[in-house]
Structure 1
Amino acid sequence: MTVPAMRAAVVAIRAGLFDDVTDDVLAHEDQAFGAALRGSAGQPNHSHVPWGRAGVGGLAVLVVAGHAGAGASTVALALAEGLAEGGRVQLVDYSEPARSGLAAAPTIELGIDSAGWRCGRRGPLDVVRLASRSADGALPRLLEADADATVVVDAGWSTTCALLDSSRSLVGCALVVVTRVTVPAVRQTERVLATVGGEAVVAAVGPAWWPRLVEGSCGPRLREARSTGRVVPVPVDRRLQTIGLTGDRLPKSVAAAGRALAALVVPAGLPRRRAVRSWAGRDGETR
């Protein structure tokens, strides 16, 4: 193993990534990432991805992970609740049911509709998730939304790979890319930012002050996003990290990050009517 490979292995171990890092892995890193974006066995074919502006009357926000395990579901929920303070919001989860990070997030379940969406409510939010995975990998059409409603899409990792391979799928929506604050994470996120183009907002899950090693690993697009105020820190909550998303209220620090993201993705001058902010959690307590 060469010195660069050994250095990469040390960085990966510190970041909690324990797969072997070899010269072959380093040499083929870019090719492997490109193949992942183009889709592989077990991932939906991008030709079947139904994402688009059809059925979305108001603002559409697509939340994608810069890498696997970024924490996109938590960010999507925090963002949706932040946007819900100014109007009606529909949170759509494209993850496979077995991999959904939002499975326990609704406080009220409303059943499965004819299109194959499992519908629920979480305070002012409409939360819809895939009820099952189709045999051909096709995804149901996005639910119709009110003309002034905002739709936040938690793409899920498999669907994210398919969406990134189809630039037409990203037209007409705001983008939030989620990353962890580690060296491998920011390197992978840089490639996603290069793929999506434009001015995506970045949600950085981890400390507000980045370690120098992480800062030094940022590519030009991530550096530009940081310098122009398009990176929002999302603190790690240990309890939330342990139990996952439930019907309970989000930690205050995570909710605050969601409001900060909402302020960045809503175009200036877009009218937003106020929504009812109080809601009841699963324990029946008014929030």
Structure 2
Amino acid sequence: MATAAGTGTVLECAGPATSGLAAAATAELGPDAAGWARGTRGPVALVRPAGPVRVPGEVPVPAQGQAPVIVDVAWDPGTVLAGTGWLAELLRRPGPLVVVVPATVPGLRRLELSLHQLRHALPTVALVGARHRDRAVNAALDAVTTGLHLTADRVVPVLWDARLATRGLDSTPIPPRLLHAADRLLQAALPGRTTP
């Protein structure tokens, strides 16, 4: 989303063992005094915990970053909201918020629970999956969106990318179709934003 926005900071809250950004930087800048490992990917700053994080409350407090700052919570919302600290406070605020889920029936069950926990933030949903969804997935999605009054414009399909699923995010360019989906997510989560 930061790449689609043209600039910004992605702040990942997962520990080093589960980081999705470990190989994503095109330049590593090393750890800072606050406990964050920093890197860049073109105009986007990538920031992730430099040391282990066992619970959400152990995520270091972030310094001010480039706007916009996109926080990858990387934890179950219920686990974060049950705790204390800056990350819990962040999830208690009104949006914008994007919830990422796989387009599967179990994924949509988790989405329903997450949307109940985060309903105050009016989340946008990134639904990751194939272009053509199974009928059971569509039925589960309809039940969630109807039951929680989630309008269709707040559900953005993100097509599955086999290369990213296999290799993870690395320093190679992000596929254009994912950037397009990221731009749609930004428009849904931040109505009225201007395109760079």
Cα distance 1:135–1:163, how it changes in 2: closer, same or farther (>3 A)? closer
User: How far 1:257 sits from its partner (Å)?
Assistant: 0.8
User: How far 1:273 sits from its partner (Å)?
Assistant: 7.9
RMSD: 2.3
- 1:211 matches 2:130: no
Could you say which structure has the higher strand fraction? 2
- 1:238 matches 2:157: no
User: How far 1:212 sits from its partner (Å)?
Assistant: 1.7
Cα distance 1:127–1:89, how it changes in 2: closer, same or farther (>3 A)? same
- 1:129 matches 2:62: no
Partner in structure 2 of residue 254 of structure 1: 178
Cα distance 1:168–1:114, how it changes in 2: closer, same or farther (>3 A)? closer
Larger mean CA deviation between 204-213 and 165-174 belongs to: 165-174
Could you tell me whether the CA contact under 8 Å between 1:119 and 1:127 is conserved in 2?
Answer: yes
Partner in structure 1 of residue 35 of structure 2: 116
Which residues of structure 2 form unaligned runs of 5+? none
Partner in structure 1 of residue 62 of structure 2: 142
Which residues of structure 1 form unaligned runs of 5+? 1-78, 275-287
- 1:192 matches 2:114: yes
User: How far 1:107 sits from its partner (Å)?
Assistant: 0.4
Map Cα deviations across residues 157-194 of structure 1 (whole Å, 9 max, x no partner).
36x44323367432044110111111111011111101
- Percentage of pairs with the same residue: 34
- 1:202 matches 2:153: no
**Amino acid in the other structure paired with 2:105:** V
Larger mean CA deviation between 210-219 and 179-188 belongs to: 210-219
Higher relative contact order (CA 8 A, sep 6+): 1
User: How far 1:216 sits from its partner (Å)?
Assistant: 2.0
**Amino acid in the other structure paired with 1:156:** A
* Distance in 1 (alpha carbons) for counterparts of 2:118 and 2:53: 27
Larger mean CA deviation between 202-211 and 214-223 belongs to: 214-223
TM-score w.r.t. structure 1 length? Answer: 0.59
Could you tell me whether the CA contact under 8 Å between 1:174 and 1:200 is conserved in 2?
Answer: yes
TM-score w.r.t. structure 2 length? Answer: 0.85
Partner in structure 1 of residue 100 of structure 2: 178
User: How far 1:241 sits from its partner (Å)?
Assistant: 1.1
Map Cα deviations across residues 48-101 of structure 1 (whole Å, 9 max, x no partner).
xxxxxxxxxxxxxxxxxxxxxxxxxxxxxxx12112x2xx41100100101101
3-state SS of the aligned residue for 2:141?
coil
Once the two structures are superposed, the pairs formed by residues 32-111 of structure 1 within 5 Å of their partners are 79-83=1-5, 85=6, 88-111=7-30
Q: Which protein has the larger Cα radius of gyration, Structure 1 or Structure 2?
A: 1
| Alignment length (residue pairs) | 187
**Amino acid in the other structure paired with 1:247:** S
